[in-house]
């Protein structure tokens, strides 16, 4: 099999294993779009992360030989899935590779948010020793609602049970998904009971899922965590929910205004709503790193090899 790498894999295991299996690799991370379109038909498969859009034009240019797309990572929003299906192209991604990292990061953000760890750390560095104003709220005993109960949601639930939480989950794409770690519930029940809410859903079909009406539908003020995709949360609606007290605090690893490849946020061009989050002591922000760990980098490689060739 001839495989073209349009993005650089983050761990050498993938390329090394492909070589052991007798596959030929071409590295094209510096190729122009024009060159990719001109030469893609020489390859049986391509490997991509999030930096290159795999649209209908590119998939058609690869025919009749191109039949496999390996997506190193989770989201598929930059791949034209409908065109791939029509052309008989198999799409493989690797959410299992980073599910543990995302789960740990999610719980870490909950603890950081509810115990004011970021704020207290910043204050202390500025010479302020403030104890009572930084009194935390325990995760133990809270009802945590998970929106989406795939790989990331399940691993997050496993960890939360260890903290003594009651975990409930809603997933509109699944049935019979309750287990020993989370009870499956309707969205209405989750919104009536949850005190902490964490998103674990794909971008596809979920643009601005968390909007004004969604935030207003919760019975209790909530702590809100998003380690899924930035565009599933309407930033302006989140700001409104914080200001109204519907959201006690928010922890965001992903951001609506990220670049397509998630490599940057242009701070000079951000709307006022995002600037509000940056300046708020009720908000914890990280730069889309929940799925990044030393173990996850190799994990993605192993998952793709398993799915593609075993």
The DSSP call for residue 54 is B
288 in catalytic set: yes
Of 116, 258, 297, 300, which residue is the catalytic one?
258
229 in catalytic set: yes
Which is nearest to 150 in space by CA: 187, 200, 101, 75? 200
Report helix angle 272-279 to 235-244, nearest 10.
Answer: 50
Of 170, 288, 297, 300, which residue is the catalytic one?
288
* C-alpha to C-alpha distance for 61 and 72, rounded to whole angstroms: 21
Edge-first strand order for the sheet with 247-252 is 183-184, 166-170, 143-147, 196-199, 222-226, 247-252, 283-285
295 in catalytic set: no
Contact between 72 and 199 (Cβ < 8 Å): no
**Residue matched to tokens 């003594």:** 164
Contact between 169 and 149 (Cβ < 8 Å): yes
* Pairing between β-strand 196-199 and β-strand 183-184 as defined by DSSP bridges: unpaired
Of 229, 246, 255, 300, which residue is the catalytic one?
229
The residues annotated as belonging to the active site are: 229, 258, 288
């Amino acid at each position: 099999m001839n495989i073209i790498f349009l993005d650089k894999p983050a761990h050498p295991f993938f390329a090394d294993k492909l070589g052991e299996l007798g596959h030929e690799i071409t590295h094209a991370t510096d190729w122009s779009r024009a060159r990719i379109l001109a030469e893609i038909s020489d390859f049986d498969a391509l490997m991509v992360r999030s930096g290159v859009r795999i649209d209908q034009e590119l998939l058609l240019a690869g025919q009749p030989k191109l039949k496999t797309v390996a997506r190193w990572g989770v989201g598929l929003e930059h791949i034209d899935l409908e065109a791939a299906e029509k052309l008989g192209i198999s799409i493989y991604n690797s959410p299992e590779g980073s599910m543990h990292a995302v789960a740990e990061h999610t719980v870490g953000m909950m603890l950081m948010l509810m115990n004011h760890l970021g704020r207290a750390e910043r204050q202390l560095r500025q010479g302020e020793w403030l104890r009572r104003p930084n009194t935390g709220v325990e995760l133990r005993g809270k009802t945590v609602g998970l929106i989406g109960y795939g790989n990331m949601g399940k691993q997050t639930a496993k960890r939360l049970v260890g903290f003594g939480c009651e975990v409930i989950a809603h997933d509109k794409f699944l049935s019979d998904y309750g287990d020993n770690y989370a009870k499956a519930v309707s969205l209405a029940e989750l919104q009536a009971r949850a005190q902490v809410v964490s998103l674990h859903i794909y971008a596809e079909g979920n643009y601005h899922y968390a909007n004004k009406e969604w935030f207003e539908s919760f019975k209790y003020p909530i702590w809100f965590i998003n380690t899924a995709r930035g565009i599933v949360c309407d930033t302006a609606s989140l700001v409104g929910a914080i200001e109204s007290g519907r959201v006690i605090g928010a922890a965001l690893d992903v951001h609506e205004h990220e670049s397509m490849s998630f490599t940057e946020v242009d701070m000079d061009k951000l709307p006022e709503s995002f600037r509000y989050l940056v300046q708020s002591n009720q908000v914890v922000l990280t730069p889309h790193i929940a799925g990044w760990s030393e173990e996850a980098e190799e994990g993605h490689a192993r998952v793709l090899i398993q799915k593609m060739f075993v």
